[in-house]
Structure 1
Amino acid sequence: MLERIRIVLIGTSHPGNIGGVARAMHNMGLTDLALVAPRCEAISADSISRASGADTLVHSAQVVDSLEEAVSDCSLVVGASARSRTLPWPMMTPRALGERLPEELQHSESRIALVFGREDSGLSNAELQRCHAHVHIPTNPDFSSLNLAAAVQVLAYECRLSWLSHQDQPASDDDEVQPLATHEELEHYFAHLERTLIAIGFHDPATPRQLMARLRRVTLRSRPERMELNILRGILSATEKAAGKVAMGQRSSDESSSDNHH
């Protein structure tokens, strides 16, 4: 279970924090680290020193340009958030996250990403909207700022507790568990959905009024299986086809009317 939990750091500005995160992960048995557009050199004397023996994770960390690349194969993406947003997203505590892991990872293909933002500004609204849920560490409100490695340590600890409590339970039969849609598959669906809504005149990109953000929220909250998402995309394709036929018929009617006038 722990092997399929990925820690994702976005825009990290200090190499020592990357090393500190590697140490926190290694303490709890996590091994999958991804760095999104780091603003510092990932492998340096500072990162190796702070890793305190966990430098293998620093050297093996995947460095990518975008959040989408880092989580494309993940079926659950959880963003660490310290602030409430104008569009509320499902929020959980670290303990609730840990309790959820066994069910999320019961299929061998499932992978989870825990996403942490920049030291100075956290995750952007756009990044948070690409997460299924947000996790908030209930710190002292009078002194709520957590070091990046400390935040990772808290979540990694809850992941390990969950793993330890489920070690003796029999594994689920993969044939009975349908794989959930991955982040990449969901992003393709959202692009297809927006394109279709524009085609049928339901959505105007110039005045979105958070329509796509709200549709993201309801879809991510439902956790669709891959097969269910394929059905939804089939409906969208059929809708696009029908809309195209209507538009073609309308053009033919207009042309016919124009010819009659002449």
Structure 2
Amino acid sequence: MQGTVPGRGRGLPGSEELRNNGVVKNVGEAPQEELATGERSTRNRVARSILDHGPSTVSDLAGRLGLTQAAVRRHLDALVADDVVQPREQRVYGARTRGRPAKVFALTACGRDAFDQSYDKLAADALKWIAEREGGEQAVAAFARARIAAQAGAYRKAVEAVGPEQKTEALAKALSVDGYAATARSAPHPHKGEQLCQHHCPVAHVAEQFPQLCEAETELFAELLGTHVQRLATIAHGDGVCTTFIPRVSKTATNASASTAGRNPA
């Protein structure tokens, strides 16, 4: 569930460092000089303070973090450029005083998503509820098939738009659009076929508990590619990459399938 947001340039720390500070997504890579001076760590503290205390003025942040207002403004400028926070007019309740109200800085949707979320736990809890109340593993499997079917439209369109030899590559590109970072390559000798590799799985943590999600995905691949496929490895089971073997379909078999398409097998 999830990834890296490219092209940000200056942002919060990388995913591992962020995770240690209660943040799980990478919102950009900082220049080397920022790494050396601790700029990223301080910038993360600024964003975290806004998360914990709500929209904040420069003065609020400087007081909470023990920084100068000039330093806070510098970090806020970088966070605004990275779409982590956004400035807005402060709401005034009651009679207005003279002068413009102080500007406050609030997290954007992108900035909020950078911090810990409970989506994986929510999804796992929902599937547990389905299993307990609605029919056990079969109910979870039905949900998994319905979920992947809802995503299948774009995959089907991509695969049907190319010839047989390009179908795996087309599927990989379509999966990558949905965040799976997928690639297609020839299978190692002596196997005759291809390997579809998914280098990221947005639902890996939930799939650890509910393998029906992986099984439904594998069934869809077989349907889209028109051949039996074999799942060799999954991220959910601790492997580095989800790997699916797709055997090469011979032209004879393809022609035979085409010649019998639409016929009643009886």
TM range (shorter): under 0.3
**TM-score of the superposed pair, with normalisation by structure 1:** 0.26
Where relative contact order (Cα < 8 A, 6+ residues apart) is larger, the structure is: 1
**TM-score of the superposed pair, with normalisation by structure 2:** 0.26
For the pair shown, the structure with the greater C-alpha radius of gyration is: 2
